[in-house]
Amino acid sequence: MFSIRQATTRDFQEIQQANLANLPENYSLKYLLYHAISWPQGSYVATMTSGGQERIVGYVLTKMEDDNQELPPNSPPSAHITSVSVNRTYRKLGIAGALLKQSLRSMRESYGAELVSLHVRESNKAALHLYKNTLGFEVLEVSAGYYADNEDAYSMKKVLDDSLIDNIPDDQDDLL
């Protein structure tokens, strides 16, 4: 069975291992636990359960910038996407977009986030397309040599408002 749900603190060690198997930027568990306990509503996982065993195939970690000393005082509450990844074989299913939508809505509701920012590798065209076209992010600037291997990053932002809440007609069609 496939499922997308909010991550609990119990998921973060597996998120750590998924991150290590997917992306070059990695985190100690202690940092991830700090993330989990500081912003418990921000992170979501996509899981696949087969033969009774649930396995994480994608995740998004989102935080608030409330621990960012560099932001000017009285900045609007801003969210930041720390890391997002979906196992390569699970692409083309819209999982990353679905994870992000859930996460952004929670950040808006729980923490009153008015903005959300992220960095994406210049070469990651699929992710860029997702952020820009599906989720409505805008490129703010290019951060030169942002990554450890010197690749440039696009710094992206999106304004968060209540349009995050899906507008599906509330009919009774799905009732028996």
Q: How far apart are the first and last CA of the chain?
A: 23
- To another protein, the closest distance from the beta carbon of 78 in angstroms equals 12
What does the DSSP assignment read for 106-152?
A: HHHHHH---EEEEEEETT-HHHHHIIIIIT--EEEEEETT-STT---
Q: What is the token pair recorded at 9? A: 């603190």
- Between 49 and 138, name the residue whose CB sits nearer to another protein: 49
CA-wise closest residue to 132 among 123, 120, 150: 120
Is residue 123 classed exposed, middle or buried when 0-12, 13-18 and 19+ CB atoms within 10 A define those classes? Answer: exposed
- To another protein, the closest distance from the beta carbon of 73 in angstroms equals 13
- To another protein, the closest distance from the beta carbon of 77 in angstroms equals 6
- To another protein, the closest distance from the beta carbon of 126 in angstroms equals 12
Which stretches of the chain bind another protein, using CB under 8 A?
Answer: 1-6, 8-10, 12-13, 16-17, 20-24, 26, 28-30, 33-34, 36-38, 40-41, 46, 48-51, 66, 77, 87-94, 98, 102, 105-106, 109-112, 123, 148-149, 166, 168, 170, 173-176
- Between 55 and 138, name the residue whose CB sits nearer to another protein: 55
Q: What is the token pair recorded at 125? A: 């065209």
- Between 37 and 140, name the residue whose CB sits nearer to another protein: 37
- Between 12 and 131, name the residue whose CB sits nearer to another protein: 12
